[in-house]
Every structure is written in C-alpha cells, then in structure tokens.
Amino acid sequence: MGLTSAQVTERMARGQVNDVPARSSRSTAAIVRANVLTRFNAIIGTLFAIVLVVGPIQDGLFGLVVVANTGIGILQELRAKKALDALAVIGQARPIVRRDGAPVALPVSQIVLDDVIELGSGDKCVVDGIVAYADGLEIDESLLTGEPDPVSKHPGDAIMSGSFVVAGSGAYTATKVGRHAYAAQLAEEAGRFTLVRSELRSGISRILAYVTWMMIPVAVALIIGQLYLYHHDWRQAVRRMVGGIVPMVPEGLILLTSVAFAIGVIRLGRRKCLVQELPAIEGLARVDTVCLDKTGTLTQGGMRVTDLIPLDGTGAARPASALACLAAADPRPNGSLQAILDAYGDQRDGWGCAASLPFSSARKYSAAVLDSPDGRRTTWLLGAPDVLLPTGDPRLARADALAARGLRVLLLAQTTKGLDDPALARDDTPVALVVLDQQVRSDAAATLRYFAEEGVAAKVISGDSALATGAIAARLRLPNAEHPLDARGLPASAAQMASAVEKATVFGRVTPRQKRDMVGALQSRGHTVAMTGDGVNDVLALKDADIGVAMGTGSDATRAVAQIVLLGNDFAALPAVVAEGRRVIGNVTRVANLFLTKTVYAVLIGLLVVIWRVPYPFLPRHSTLLSTLTIGVPAFFLALAPNTERARPHFVRTVMRFALPSGIIAGTATFATYLIARHHYRGTTATAAATSAATLTLFLISLWVLAIIARPYTRWRAALVAAMAAAFAAVLVVPWLQHFFALKLVGFQIPWTAAGIAALAAAALEAAWRRTRRAGSQGAGEK
C-alpha cells in the first residue's frame, strides 16, 4: 500500500527524508573559492598591496586586471552552473513511489523513510531498503561491490543504493535515506565511482608547479639585486622588483581554461546535452574509437511487428495468444515486448499467466508458464532464435535470412520444463517466428560519416543478431559492416580478443559483460574509447569507457554512470560535443603558448638582470601594457573562437615545445636591446630611454608570437593582431599615454636598432614554429 500523506509529513518533520543534494556542478561558494583562492592570486595580491604603498597607481594596474579577470571567471562559471543545474533537473531520475495506495513519480529528494518504491528493469536503487516483493528480480551491484554477476532478490533481501535492476520487477521499502544510505556514504568517502581524467587540467597543474619552483629563486635574487642597486631609492627598487615578478605569473591561464570549459557547457546545454563531469567535454574530443549500441542509438527506440510466421502448422491464433500473455506478464516491457503487446495485446482469448521469467540481456530470452483455454499448462519461451535453436536447425536459416535484411527476429517456443530448470532453453519446440522492424535514425548516417571523416573509428556493439546488426550498419554505410562478428565466437584470451575487436566493426549477440570486456580490450591497445547506450545492458561498458554517453530516455542506471547525457535523445548531437571539446582543447593550447612564452622570457630576463647587475628593464605598468595587448585581450578572443583541429595528446610537451624556445628568443633579444640602449644613452634619463627601447623590442616580438598563434588567419584574427599593434602605437604617440605608461622613444638609432633586433627574433620564431609543427605532425603520426 505504501505510506499515507500524513505519515510522509510526519517523517519529513523528523528529518527522515532523502536530503542528499544531487548537484550537477560545484556550489557557488566552491566556484568563488576556486577562482579567488589561488596561489597566483595570493602572489599578485601581495605585490599589488606593495605597489599601493610605494605608488604610483599606474604601476598597480596589474592588480585591477587580475580582479577583473577573476570576476569574469566567476560569472562565467556561475552561468555554466545555472545551465547544468537546469538540465540536471530535467534528466533527474523520478522513481515510482506508492503514496496513499497509488503509484506516483517523485524526485529522489522527496523519498522518506519506509516509502515503498517500485522497481523495473533499468531502474536505479536510489536508497537502501528491504525487498517487499519480487517477480524474477535481479539486481546488479557491481558498481558498489565489483562483483559482475547479477544477484537474484527475494522478499526480505537487502538492497543497496547505487545498484540497479537488470531483470524482473518488484518493490522495496526504504530503510536508510539521505546521508545514511550506502551510496551516499561511499560518495562522501571517495567521491563518485569514476571521474574523467583531464589531461588539460593535469597538464596545466604540472606547468604551474614548474613555474612556481622557477619563480621562487629568481624572484629572491631579483629582490636582493634591485635593493642593492637602488639602496638610495628603495621605492624605485620595489617597483622594478615587482615589475620583474609580475610577468612570471601566468595568472590568466587557469582563468581562461575555466572560462573555455564553462562556455562549452553553456553551448552544449542549448543542445540539451547534460555534461555531468566538465572534463568529459575534453575527453570526447580525444576519443579515437566510439562504441555504439544499435538499439536506441542507431535505430529508434520503438519497433513494430511486421510478421508472425507459424512453424508448427497450427496457424497464428495460438502463437498470438501466447505472445499476448508473455508480453503482458512483464510490468515494464522492453521495446520488443511493447511492440508485441501493441500488436497482439487484445488477443489473449482466455489464456492466463501462472508464473514468468523476465527477459535478461545475458540469457537472451524470457519465459512464462501459461494456462491455455483447454486447461493445459505449458512453459513458453520468447528469445533469440540462435540461442533457443540448435546449430544447423533449418528454421535457424530462415531466421537468419530475415535478420540479414536488418529485421529483428524472435523465436516463440514451447517446452514442458519448469522455469527453474537450468536446461530450460534446450530441446524446446519451435512454434513461430516473430518479425519486428527497426527504424533507423535519420541522422545516424551523417553522424557516422562525420566520425569517419574525423578519423574516429565506430564500432557497433549489440545484443541483437550479428546479421541484423550488420545489415543495419551496412544500410548506414559503415565500413566493413558486411562482415559482422558473433560475439559468442570471440576468443577468451584478452590479447586475441583485443586484436579481433580492433579489426572488426560490427558485433552481435554481445552480453553486458562482453561489452565491458570489449571496451577494456580497445583501451589495452591504447585507444581512447567512448561508449553510447540507453539500456541497462550498457551500464557496465559505459562505466568503464573513457567517456560514457547515455540517451535521455535511457534507464536511470545508464544516465547515472554516464558523463554526458543527450537529453534530447539526439544521436546527431555527438559531433557537436566532439567539436566543442576540440574547441576547448585547441584554444587553451593556443593561449597557453602565449602565457608560457611570457613566463619563460620574464624568468630569463630576471636571471640576466641578476647576472649583469643592472636595474630591471620594466616597471609594472610596462608589464601590464605588454600582457594586456599581446596576451590578455587576444587570449579571451582566441579561447572562445571556433576550432576544429583534432585534439593531440601530451599537452605539456606540445605547449612547451614552442613556448620554451620562443620565450628564450624574446628574453634574449629584449635584454640585448636593453644593454645596447643603456650603453648608448647617458644621463638621468638613460634608464627610462633604455626601458622604452626594450619595451618596443619585446612588444614587437610578442606581437609576432601572437601573429603565429593566431594562424590560420581569418578576417577577425587579422583584425585582432592589427588592433593590438594600433593600440601600442597610440601609446607611443599620444602624449598623455606616453606619460601614463612612462614610454618615450629617444632619437632614431636605438628605436630602429630595437626594431631590427625584433625582426631577427621574428625570423628565429618562425624557424622555431616550423620545427614545432613538424615535431607535432610526426608525434601525431607515430600515435
């Protein structure tokens, strides 16, 4: 019966409610903390406070820029959180709970202690409980215990939250809710069962660790050196010291990575894609193999019966009545049973069901004990012909001929054995073939073509007949689809299985455990694997894949373990997810080159200043101007631009391959200009004039780095580079800007010398870039 409304209200008042917050994203406080409380914000904040003491304010502009950038990062992540949370509500599981004697779908958070929750195939167990009744109920607890075999459940047995139903139906009474439930305790102790590894984030963390260790000794030496040189003017020493440390900090790199991910979430949200783990956007972009379940992915979820072929010569009436009873016996019929119910549901003609065995993906059939109108009680089976018929049976050839046309074929058979007989599926009597038509998704062919063009191998893995699966795949022009493999013939050896799975394209009669093994086999060969699916038989493979993609209409368990949920059930949205991931990875790699080039040249100039015992060339205002025009503003545009380049592995190596030589070139050329200018100029204005010349050289070199990173050019990219050049030119010619930024070129010889050195450095940068591209191409080819 379940609880009454009064009992529910009483339990809610006592706090006995399933109040575990089901967040799809970080809390607002966590977002603010992550953007504000960083090691580099602490460094920049301290330096900003020092500059506020020694003045002038224009040397503290870097602090205002960091504040603005942090604010932008927080706002973008909050926008992404809002989009994620809204989608999560749509995709949230709503279990069937009995209230006041009637079943009602409720949010998980409204379940209270002692609620009676109904279960069917594919349902996730959302709280702990005790089985109240069971009809062939089988629960998979592998996500919690690691044991792969489903467990049969009977009244009085315990159920753990986080497990899911693979067969049968039943109901259970909630005994532990909220943070007392088993899955909630696991989540608090160890987080989610699996988290997507982000090469991008881990790579940036490694880079920032390297930068921190490089900064510390150089900054200490710089502080001591500048104080020693300017012991009569400590304020000037502090300003020069701050001017040397600030450029070493790649403060915007983390920000732009977060913004790029956040914008990706928002864009995918508009396509009804729920990204349950942010790095999954990146992960799918790195995928080189995608495993597709046929039903619900390549084909529409619904089916229709097109033919009923009697095999025992008695006509279609008796098989139709038996089919009606078999389908009606399952309270939550799958697509095939629903099609049979739609076709024959009104033809029971006095037949009754005494007991039933629900369909299981592992055994490939269902069964029921039926009472016919003449008083006979017999057992009927409905399942895969090649499972219920012996090899070589002529009726199997007839079923195969139909399957080769892309039709789903089921065999209706009769036996005298009981449902608990382990040999139930042997020596049965074939009665009829049930033929069902599967409608191919209109967008499936275009999606598969996109993957082929992008170098992503597609593998169709189905529990259906290999012939039927191959015919569907061939209709979609999937390469090698005309040679499907029956998974029952796959070798047991892991190495041999990996070889077979890597070579073939279409697989039929795959069990849930085999799907998981096939994903693992591909991963063992170095492939990054995505798995798509919507049924309970896909859960294990989805969990083990590098990226799991579930359909919105899929089972609760499927959506729970997937990193990406296509709430619109639109298989064609996958290319958009891949493209978004490529945009994020490609653009963050681009802008990382800008930030780390600056870090390398700042550290190098700091070292050279200490070695030569000269004043640091730049004040903080100069560093702010250069960073804003050659990195900050361009990076925001480049980070959000379209980018369809295929994601490459080894993020750190890829970035440092160019950033390191370009930073060395920029630092060496700038310091050379500075020394030449110091030697040329004399008097009290010598340092200021030398600083202006060095700033010109560094800007021109940094602008050339930007011009390289912005390739291939489009109108807006060319305009972006030109606008940055024009902005710097304005600083050099507008008097009040000259004064504000303390920049004034003196004479003609040194400014032209500075420009000439920058031109030589630009030629060296071009050579470094070409070498980097060649190395990147060779690395991609080797992979």
Q: Which CATH superfamily is domain 299-440 in?
A: Calcium-transporting ATPase, cytoplasmic domain N (3.40.1110.10)
Give residue 298's Cα distance to chain centre: 21
Asked if 238 and 50 count as a contact pair (C-beta separation under 8 A), the reply is: yes
pLDDT tens digits, one per residue of 661-708: 999 999 999 999 999 999 999 876 788 899 999 999 999 999 999 999
- Enumerate residue ranges in the chain where pLDDT < 70: 1, 20-26, 84, 87-92, 143-148, 182-198, 230-232, 277-278, 301, 646-647, 684, 776-783
Distances in whole angstroms, Cα of residue 613 to Cα of each of 226, 229, 609, 697 = 8, 8, 6, 21
Domain 272-298+441-569 has CATH 1.10.1060.10: no
**At what angle are helices 39-54 and 61-91 packed, to 10 degrees?**
150
Q: Which of 234, 135, 275, 214 is nearest to 559 (CA)?
A: 275
Among residues 293, 330, 386, 517, which one is catalytic?
A: 293
How many Å apart are CA 519 and CA 479, to the nearest integer? 20
Distances in whole angstroms, Cα of residue 439 to Cα of each of 29, 295, 408, 561 = 48, 10, 11, 27
Domains 28-82+197-267+578-782 and 272-298+441-569 share a fold: no
Give the start-to-end residue ranges of the domains of the chain: 28-82+197-267+578-782, 272-298+441-569, 299-440
Asked if 641 and 649 count as a contact pair (C-beta separation under 8 A), the reply is: no
Q: Residue 724 has what pLDDT?
A: 97
Q: Residue 195 has what pLDDT?
A: 43
Give residue 452's Cα distance to chain centre: 20
Q: Residue 675 has what pLDDT?
A: 95
Distances in whole angstroms, Cα of residue 480 to Cα of each of 466, 484, 485, 541, 568 = 13, 8, 11, 23, 30
Q: Residue 191 has what pLDDT?
A: 35
Asked if 109 and 119 count as a contact pair (C-beta separation under 8 A), the reply is: no
Q: Which helix (H) or strand (E) holds 472?
A: helix 466-475
pLDDT tens digits, one per residue of 85-137: 776 665 567 889 999 888 998 888 889 999 999 998 888 888 899 999 888 88
Is 427 assigned a catalytic role?
no
Asked if 618 and 691 count as a contact pair (C-beta separation under 8 A), the reply is: yes
Helix/strand/coil (H/E/C) assignment for every residue in 556-591: HHHHHHCCEEECCCCHHHHHHHHHHHHHHHHHHHHH
- 528-541 burial: b if 16+ Cβ within 10 Å, else e: bbbbbbbbbbbbbb
Cis ω on the peptide bond leading into residue 712 (within 30° of 0)?
A: yes
* Backbone torsions φ then ψ of 407, nearest 5 degrees: -95, 150
For residue 632, give the DSSP letter. I
Domain 28-82+197-267+578-782 has CATH 1.20.120.80: no
How many CA atoms are closer than 13 Å to the CA of 265, on its beta-carbon side? Answer: 29
How many Å apart are CA 332 and CA 630, to the nearest integer? 61
Asked if 284 and 530 count as a contact pair (C-beta separation under 8 A), the reply is: yes
